[in-house]
Amino acid sequence: VDIYTDGACRGNPGRGGWGAILVYGSREKELSGGEPMTTNNRMELMGAIAAMEALREPCDITLTSDSKYLTDAINKGWLASWKKNGWRKSDKSAVLSVELWQKIDALLAIHKVEFVWVRGHAGHPYNERCDALATAFADSFAE
């Protein structure tokens, strides 16, 4: 399964949205959601969580995101270190949005996931569509 995700925020914190597209063979499923007061990073994480939670069985996933925060946390081993250190960062401060990282950690125990970073707003069709889904949801909240 290929998953593409993006998060958006109008202000940071502010009105937020996330978008995700799941692709399996010729089938595609779009998901979106958001919160009236949140942060961009929380929306990036929520897109990935919602997409993985939508799967009905364990899958091999390639998850593509323009969030270095998300992809680096996995690919550079930050998530594993945070968990090992009681959800504390290397400077001993608490990991932000720990409940979301814990959900991602639990989902990674179910699915085999490769995280791929793609430059945002650079013409990648799925990234652009995810951005449109995320910003539309963020804009659905009254200012």
66 is catalytic: yes
d(CA 88, CA 85): 5
124 is annotated as an active-site residue:
no
Identified catalytic residue from 16, 17, 47, 131: 131
Verify whether residue 111 is a known catalytic residue.
no
Clarify whether 131 is annotated catalytic: yes
Catalytic residue among 11, 28, 77, 121: 121
Catalytic residue among 34, 66, 111, 128: 66
How far is C-alpha 65 from the geometric centre of its chain's CA atoms?
A: 7
Instruction: Give dist(CA 141, CA 143) in Å, integer.
Output: 6
Q: Which of 6, 17, 34, 47 is catalytic?
A: 6
> Is 123 annotated in the active site?
no
Side chain identity, residue 55: L
Per the residue annotation, which of 7, 16, 17, 19 is the catalytic one?
7
Residue that the structure tokens 């597209």 belong to: 21
Question: Which one of the listed residues 16, 19, 44, 47 is annotated catalytic?
Answer: 44
**DSSP designation for 76:** T
Instruction: Catalogue the active-site residues.
Output: 6-7, 44, 66, 121, 131
